[in-house]
Amino acid sequence: MNELMVVAGEASGDMHAARVVKILKKELSQLRITGMGGSELSRLGQQQLVNKGDGSFGLGGALTSLPRHLRRAHLLLKRAEEGDVDLALLVDYSGFNMYLARQAQECAGGALYSAHGLVLGQMAGQMAGPAGGHSGRHLSPGAGSLPGSRG
């Protein structure tokens, strides 16, 4: 795997995704992490393709931030189309990531895995095994392959 795109627009998703990324980077030291995340993913070397920005609250906030969210999604999709993305990991941030997943199905690229942060956290714990050691289990795509998949 060359590149993992992680999209986590909420602090909890950032935290859970970072646990998985940390484990993957132990086995795949050359793995590039791109996408949208927070401070935890950034600390692990994620190339922040877009700034996740501040959250918007209420109907008014959602409506005024819609153009900004669409721009973010299209920048991420452009990277998926033009880059060397093997796997997209979409964590929490449900409205944004559901839109991204629907659009990504039309892109060439790798597999798509969408997970709730708590489920991803449990997976990371299972991957790490007892006392943080690796258990030999591997994360595999759960939502199938996208058209043109290299997987």
Determine the straight-line distance between the first and last CA of the chain, rounded to whole angstroms: 9
Q: Is residue 21 part of a domain?
A: yes
Kind of pairing between the strands at 3-8 and 32-36: parallel
Contact between residue 102 and residue 93 where contact means Cβ atoms under 8 Å apart: no
Domain containing residue 75: CATH number: 3.40.50
Cα 136 from Cα 128, distance rounded (Å) = 8
Q: How many domains does the chain have?
A: 1
- More confident position, 86 or 134: 86
Domain residues for 47?
A: 3-132
pLDDT above 70 as % of the chain: 63
The model's pTM is 0.73
Both tokens of residue 9?
């627009």
- More confident position, 32 or 146: 32
Q: Is residue 147 part of a domain?
A: no
pLDDT of res. 58: 52
Q: What are the beta bridge partners of residue 90?
A: 7, 114
